[in-house]
Amino acid sequence: MLQVLNHNELTFSCVHAFLFPNLLFSEFIAEDGNEKFWDFVDTVKELTVYKNGESVRSYYNLVIKKAGQFLTALQVNLLKFALSLRSYSPAVHASQQIGSDESPPEACLAFVSVHGQHGCSTKDLKKLLKAAAGRPKPYLYKNEHRYPGLNKTDVPVVILYAEIGTKKFGSFHKVLAEKAAEGKLIYVLRHFVAEPRPQKMLLSGYGVELAIKSTEYKAVDDTQVKGTVNTDEDDIDEVQGFFFGKLKNSHPDLQEQLEELRKHLLESTNDMAPLKVWELQDLSFQAAARIMSVPTFDALKLMRDLSQNFPSKASRESSLFQRLSETMGIHPGDGGLFINGLHIDLDVHNPFSILDTIRGEAKILEGLHNLGIKEENLSKLLRLPMNPVEENYALDIRHPAITWINDIETDSMYRSWPSGVQELLRATFPGVIRQIRRNFFNLVLLLDPVQEESIELVKLAELFYKHKIPLRIGFVFVVNTDDEVDGSTDAGVAFFRLLNYIADEYDLSQALMSMVSMYNKVEIGEALSVDTVSAYLKKKFPKASAARIFGEDSEYDDKRKAGAVFYKKSGLGPLPLALFNGVPLNAEEMDPDELETVILQRIMDTTNFFQRAVYMGQLTEGTDVVDHLMDQANMVPRINPLILRTDRTYLDLTASPDDWDDATMFSYLDSKDKTAVIAKRMNYFTKNDEDGINGVTVWIVGDFEKASGRRLLLNALKHLRASAGVRVGVIDNPSGGVPSEDSTVLYRAVWAALLTQKNKAAVEFVQKILKEETVQLLQQGTKMKNLLVKGMNADAFEKKFNTMEVDFIRSQQLFCRDVLKLHTGQRAVVSNGRILGPFEDEEEFNVEDFHLLEKITLSTTAEKVKARIKQMGIKGKQASDLVMKVDALLAAAPKGEGRRDFRFVKDEHSVLHFAPREDEVFYDVVAIVDPVTRDAQKMSPLLIVLSQVVNVKLQVFMNCRAKLSDMPLKSFYRFVLESDVSFLANETVSAGPVAHFLELPDSPLLTLNMITPESWMVEAVRSPYDLDNIHLQEVLSVVTAEYELEHLLLEGHCFDLSTGQPPRGLQFTLGMSQDPLMQDTIVMANLGYFQLKANPGAWILKLREGRSEDIYQILAHDGTDSPSDSPADTGDVKVVLNSFHSKIIKVRAYVTRMVLCSIAGGGSSSEDGEKNREDVLNIFSVASGHLYERFLRIMMLSVLQHTKTPVKFWFLKNYLSPSFKESIPYMAEAYGFQYELVQYKWPRWLHQQTEKQRIIWGYKILFLDVLFPLAVDKIIFVDADQIVRADLKELRDLNLEGAPYGYTPFCDSRKEMEGYRFWKTGYWASHLGNRRYHISALYVVDLKKFRKIAAGDRLRGQYQALSQDPNSLSNLDQDLPNNMIHQVAIKSLPQEWLWCETWCDNASKTTAKTIDLCNNPKTKEPKLSAAVRIVPEWVEYDNKIKQLLRDVQEQKDNDRATQTQSPISLLHGLLLCKEV
């Protein structure tokens, strides 16, 4: 029997997580908003005084109670789940690391950093602030904890490093918060614990698998392991529900009989007789039937038990189950998990990402629930299809103002090109632009001809035209539109008229050439003049009349105003401008030095868009390409970046508080409640749609005593009159201090009109009083009652206007300051909760902008929300309010894939139903699962925990597969996950989550695999047992194992902007500010992928010094913590790792200078010289399991015995046992060699292997270019089970004759094995031709050549193609290089370099330089006996190693106490127990 127990070392190891729970709590709360974070900080600012006097549990509950002031009951449950996952520990560790990098002052419990200088007390602050302006400001990362003060940028930045809740923090916080609120400084808080304890904590959120291993070849070490005595017998003696410890205590007279019963039950439990084919066929249905037959609340536990222990449970299933038909496009046997219709792919998602999903859903669910939307309506609103926010909006380029210089489709110069759209699908070399006679690519330049910047752009356009780039080029000239101005006085008008003349009299291409010729006459630094234009006309067209062309009666003035009108209506910024297929280029892209590269890159990117359209049948031969472009969803009538930006901020309109009339009381409300009060009180100008529901609600915010505020409201009301279904509310944000009657005259009149008048009259009156002439009348003493318009109720208005208090205007002013983050007097617009602003003083928001805003608001979500609310039967103002609030909620939610809706018909025999608790927010969870698959192993424990954390309506659909021909599950599995932190009876934290394996069979050989999140790199750190070969019959007591999370991965993809392809061989380094070069790697050609090991903290990614830095420059990046345009000067990219989520960044580089040498060959020349001076023999090997590690030590000894050259061994760390890693330093010291442990995480995009042996084979060949530091230029791989009899320096120095690696061919000399030589027949014989099949037990790799020819990328590409077929690459590590022998050459090493008894005759053994203990398919002789028989010196080597290990054992206890810890010590544990 196997069980996991609490190992005594682990009792304290999780305490670290709860020494600072307030830090973890604060990170959770921070994700709900900065305001809540600081409210929580204020609540717990000196809470640690309770910590010493309370138990851990009491302190934990106290902080939970404090957090509950800011969180709903659902959010508190999610907080507890997050704490059990240790989800926010990396964020705290990252902050700690950043603080440690600051070199904190000694003996400081907390300290401030002011522009690089430090202080330990509040007294130091004044001195530090005084001279701060002269020092550079510190770098602030994204999502910093910044105190909500006035948004000033010209004040010092003070970073406080402290532990929330301590007295020292409290004293600093009080001073800094006051100064930040006054706008005297920017206050940033980073978590920092001055004296952190080095204890570890247990993690959860991963899986553990015990896979049944093939025993065809015996690979188990015969060395005995001392077992751990199990002292807690009652915990491990439960067998099939009987607790034998208790039974023996209760019935001491029945000891023998109870022992016999216990043995019988154990034997029946552990019976693993193979099933017959007919028994296998319906296993899936039998398991499902059994699950369906038990009460609902037990069904998930039963499914977990069946799936996770399936190999030992399979023979007991016997029920019949009705076969279910395929449903909803999901095939029998497939699995799927859906939360509120969102697909949770368990191959991609892990508990940390699922926590994020359910937390994001909680906000929407609670919001809709608070708005009174329940059950069916809630589900339908949730599943509304939301249009994604477009990245690039475009203008319609079919405008008459555009003068097109060329037309790809009709101009004769392109007539030799093919015109079919199918040409797009024809293969070409990367980076080649297809020449097709269609207007696929259109460039429009908007220019003022007189501007100096226009000159280079026109020359570039001519360059594109001259080189026949398939680019249609158009111009919009924006010149003086005054009718009084003509070409004789204005150079722009003269230029425009001359071009029209040339185009009319000659042709457009001549006009383009003339533009360039004219600009060539303009000196650098000067502008185009009338004289230059006139001189050109006289010289080039001497017969033309200048007066007729330039004069006031010119015939060539057509479309002069059209250009200016197009430009004005477009809403675009300052000239010059460029539109590519209607999409405006930004200011950086408009740099003439960059524009050519940008346009070519846009052509490449757009080609992909058109290829997809052709492939999908959306673009056919008869389609007008430009019309197709202009029909896309990103087309808008006007470009206003404020409206179209992708990062949009929304108000939270889901609260429903009391209505506070008192401004003082209002000021104490939080942002959410302030917003709700304003929304409840708001009155509107309306123009109702036919159904009486307004789809768009606009709030106009401003000071209406200022002209800019009045213009903004006037434009909104003009838009209201032209548009149906919009309503306009008004919020006053008066300038200066507290509003008075004098400073709010116009606004009170607006408000009085809204409250007392009918809509039409109110709109007319407000439009009248907002006009400047009316304002002047008021200032001259005209009474408001004298300005009333026809149709108004004068008495009602006058009464309301004269008696109106200004207190509610103060509330609005507070709302603007605290929620909208506006200074007094600033303007903004709020559209269905979306905040646009603040506007700059001179910034205008005109009627066209309001039209655009309405279009964008409706198209994103509002139109669909309105239709749904209309179906609910709600009408009038209530419906319009609900549209606004629901739209703000749904539009603010992150846009992902669509939600699916499931309806199961006739589900009584196939679906488990779990009803939610009534009158509470619930999650609609659908699980589709075959109960005998890996999905069931993962999904069942996840669903159990999910149902404990949140209220769920759960449906589990049994999607069984029929006619199984093989055992569907060949492993035991545990998913380590808890819903809450658990405590012991003594009020301390429990040891934490571990994997428990109970009642496992004795007979099979098991191998342990960790199934962790993609970004984790874990290693076994403590276990005396061979985790690769667990055989329970030979285990006397407890099997224990501990794994440590050693690294979090930083992954990325890099592309060359000029070609769109990965910059093959580009080298990156990763480090921290104190140590800039801690890791290095190269970029793969496969998807431009790179991978670097890191830990929580702030990291700096940069190009490696040498060729990479010389040739390339980083231009842009995504997913990082630097501004995307920052690296142009520094070359550094800042990346913060602060969560367990995968961190995947995208880097775009470009070539700064062309060189003839390759960058893929390795290090710089200085490094090469260094390596030549240090002659080291680099040997690489892999091993898994104690037997192969025993062989590995002997192989190392044999290498060292035969060379005088210094040796460095490189071992794949991923699968080494803790005992090997503990002993290797002693062996290195005893025998005088160097060693390094290397590791690489199998990339998620590369086809995954599931069997451990095949994974290890993959590591031998697939990652040779990235496993080792770039300075290593040659490496020899030696199999662990090899004995070396020669100096490997000879092999290293062997001339590989241009090949990247050399392998030894298989021997042909042992004739009795001829029938087993598979490479001599069939596929291999035809594929290899005259070449020989090589063995992968020994090979030498020239890493410089290997990287230079991208051999690794080629091997991975071929592997990806072949590995999809489970029958190919049966010997992955040698089949792959032999398969690629024509693309990646192999140098055949002399035969004596590898002798193997299986394939080589005895005569050749005498000259053998290495002996390999190959498996013998004929005799299947165990490795150990073969080693002793074949290699005489093997026993002597073995005895030497055994003696060394005995000596080492005496020192281990002392050394273990001094072992160094990794930067983040996060531990997860596994403990297995064998019942005797």
User: What confidence score (pLDDT) does residue 620 get?
Assistant: 87
- Residue 660 pLDDT grade (very low, low, confident, very high; cuts 50, 70, 90): low
Question: Which three-class secondary structure state does DSSP give residue 1098?
Answer: strand
Token readout for 580 is 């590519």
DSSP state of 185: -
The single residue listed with the structure tokens 């070396």 is: 1284
User: What confidence score (pLDDT) does residue 239 get?
Assistant: 66
User: What confidence score (pLDDT) does residue 1460 get?
Assistant: 42
User: 893 pLDDT exceeds 60?
Assistant: yes
Determine what percent of the chain is predicted with pLDDT higher than 70: 88
Q: Mind listing the pLDDT tens digit for each residue in 734-781?
A: 888 788 777 788 888 888 888 898 888 888 888 888 898 888 888 888
User: What confidence score (pLDDT) does residue 1172 get?
Assistant: 46
Question: Which three-class secondary structure state does DSSP give residue 989?
Answer: strand
Q: Spell 1095-1131 as b/e; 16+ CB within 10 A means b.
A: bbbbbbbbbbbbbbbebbbbbbbeebbbeeebbeeee
| H-helix segments, 20-161 | 21-30, 34-43, 56-67, 73-85, 89-101, 122-130
- Residue 443 pLDDT grade (very low, low, confident, very high; cuts 50, 70, 90): very high
Q: Mind listing the pLDDT tens digit for each residue in 594-646?
A: 788 888 888 888 888 888 888 888 888 888 888 988 888 888 888 888 888 88
- Residue 1465 pLDDT grade (very low, low, confident, very high; cuts 50, 70, 90): very low
Q: Spell 75-110 as b/e; 16+ CB within 10 A means b.
A: bbbbbbbbbbbbbbbbbbbbbbbbbbebebeeebbb
Residue 232 backbone dihedrals phi, psi, to 5 degrees:
-110, 75
User: 800 pLDDT exceeds 60?
Assistant: yes
Say if strands 911-914 and 952-958 run parallel, antiparallel, or are unpaired.
antiparallel
Residue 334 backbone dihedrals phi, psi, to 5 degrees:
-75, 155
Closest CA to 499 of 451, 536, 539: 536
| Higher local confidence (pLDDT), 45 or 133 | 133
Q: Cβ(675)–Cβ(35) under 8 Å? A: no
User: What confidence score (pLDDT) does residue 1359 get?
Assistant: 92
User: What confidence score (pLDDT) does residue 1302 get?
Assistant: 95
Token readout for 522 is 């303009």
Mean pLDDT of the chain, nearest integer: 82
Say if strands 577-580 and 583-584 run parallel, antiparallel, or are unpaired.
antiparallel
d(CA 171, CA 167): 6
Q: Mind listing the pLDDT tens digit for each residue in 34-93?
A: 888 888 888 877 666 565 556 778 878 888 888 888 888 999 999 999 988 888 989 999
Give the distance, in angstroms, between the CA of residue 272 and the centroid of all CA atoms in the same chain. 44
Token readout for 771 is 């006009």
Q: Cβ(1081)–Cβ(1266) under 8 Å? A: yes
User: 1191 pLDDT exceeds 50?
Assistant: yes
Q: What is the pTM of this model?
A: 0.82
Task: Give residue 1234's region: left, alpha or beta (phi > 0; psi -120 to 50).
Answer: beta
User: What confidence score (pLDDT) does residue 1296 get?
Assistant: 93
The single residue listed with the structure tokens 């037959």 is: 293
CA angle, corner 225, sides to 221 and 229, nearest 5? 150
Q: Mind listing the pLDDT tens digit for each residue in 982-1033?
A: 887 777 777 678 888 877 787 788 888 888 998 898 888 888 888 888 888 7
The single residue listed with the structure tokens 């030979």 is: 1034
d(CA 279, CA 1229): 57
Helix axes 745-756, 772-779, angle to 10 degrees: 110
d(CA 165, CA 49): 8
d(CA 1308, CA 1318): 12
The single residue listed with the structure tokens 């999610």 is: 78
- Residue 1234 pLDDT grade (very low, low, confident, very high; cuts 50, 70, 90): very high
- Residue 1341 pLDDT grade (very low, low, confident, very high; cuts 50, 70, 90): very high
User: What confidence score (pLDDT) does residue 1456 get?
Assistant: 52
d(CA 1019, CA 1021): 6
Beta bridge pairs of residue 974: 208
Sign, CA torsion 715/721/727/730: positive
Q: How many CB atoms lie within 10 A of CB 429?
A: 5
Distance between the two ends of the chain, CA-based, in angstroms? 8
Q: Which of 373-387, 1392-1406, 1436-1450 has the weakest average pLDDT?
A: 373-387
User: 1198 pLDDT exceeds 90?
Assistant: yes
Cβ contacts of 846 within 8 Å, gap of 6 or more: 715
Q: Spell 933-956 as b/e; 16+ CB within 10 A means b.
A: bbbbbbbbbbbbbbbebbbbbbbb
**Polymer length of the chain:** 1476
- Residue 20 pLDDT grade (very low, low, confident, very high; cuts 50, 70, 90): low
Closest CA to 172 of 120, 99, 100: 120
Token readout for 623 is 């389609």
Q: Which long-range contacts (CB under 8 A, 24 or more apart) does 47-53 make?
A: 47/22, 47/165, 48/22, 48/163, 48/165, 48/166, 48/167, 49/167, 51/165
Q: Mind listing the pLDDT tens digit for each residue in 162-180?
A: 988 888 888 899 999 998 8
- Residue 1343 pLDDT grade (very low, low, confident, very high; cuts 50, 70, 90): very high
User: Within 13 Å of residue 623, how many CA atoms lie on the same side as its CB?
Assistant: 18
User: 226 pLDDT exceeds 90?
Assistant: no
Beta bridge pairs of residue 579: 444, 584
- Residue 225 pLDDT grade (very low, low, confident, very high; cuts 50, 70, 90): low
User: What confidence score (pLDDT) does residue 219 get?
Assistant: 62
Q: Cβ(1045)–Cβ(1016) under 8 Å? A: yes
The single residue listed with the structure tokens 């189950």 is: 321
Closest CA to 942 of 304, 348, 291: 304
d(CA 182, CA 162): 22
User: 1208 pLDDT exceeds 80?
Assistant: yes
Residue 94 backbone dihedrals phi, psi, to 5 degrees:
-60, -45
* Beta strand residue intervals within 1057-1158, DSSP E: 1067-1071, 1079-1082, 1089-1094, 1097-1103, 1112-1118, 1132-1137, 1143-1151
User: 1228 pLDDT exceeds 90?
Assistant: yes
Q: Spell 1080-1089 as b/e; 16+ CB within 10 A means b.
A: bbbbbbbbbb
- Radius of gyration of the CA atoms of the chain, in A: 38
User: 1126 pLDDT exceeds 70?
Assistant: no
Token readout for 378 is 């809630």
Q: Mind listing the pLDDT tens digit for each residue in 1412-1421?
A: 999 888 888 8
d(CA 762, CA 793): 10
| Higher local confidence (pLDDT), 187 or 13 | 187
Token readout for 1368 is 């190919």
| Residue type at 975 in one-letter notation | F
User: What confidence score (pLDDT) does residue 690 get?
Assistant: 56
Average of per-residue pLDDT across 927-937: 88
Average of per-residue pLDDT across 1423-1452: 87
CA dihedral 630→639→886→367, nearest 10 degrees, is 120
Q: Mind listing the pLDDT tens digit for each residue in 679-693?
A: 988 999 987 655 678
Token readout for 777 is 């009348």
Q: Cβ(792)–Cβ(712) under 8 Å? A: no
Question: Which three-class secondary structure state does DSSP give residue 1339?
Answer: strand
User: What confidence score (pLDDT) does residue 320 get?
Assistant: 35
Say if strands 1301-1305 and 1234-1238 run parallel, antiparallel, or are unpaired.
unpaired
d(CA 1423, CA 1430): 10
Cβ contacts of 541 within 8 Å, gap of 6 or more: 501, 502
d(CA 81, CA 83): 5
- Residue 552 pLDDT grade (very low, low, confident, very high; cuts 50, 70, 90): confident
Average of per-residue pLDDT across 341-364: 90
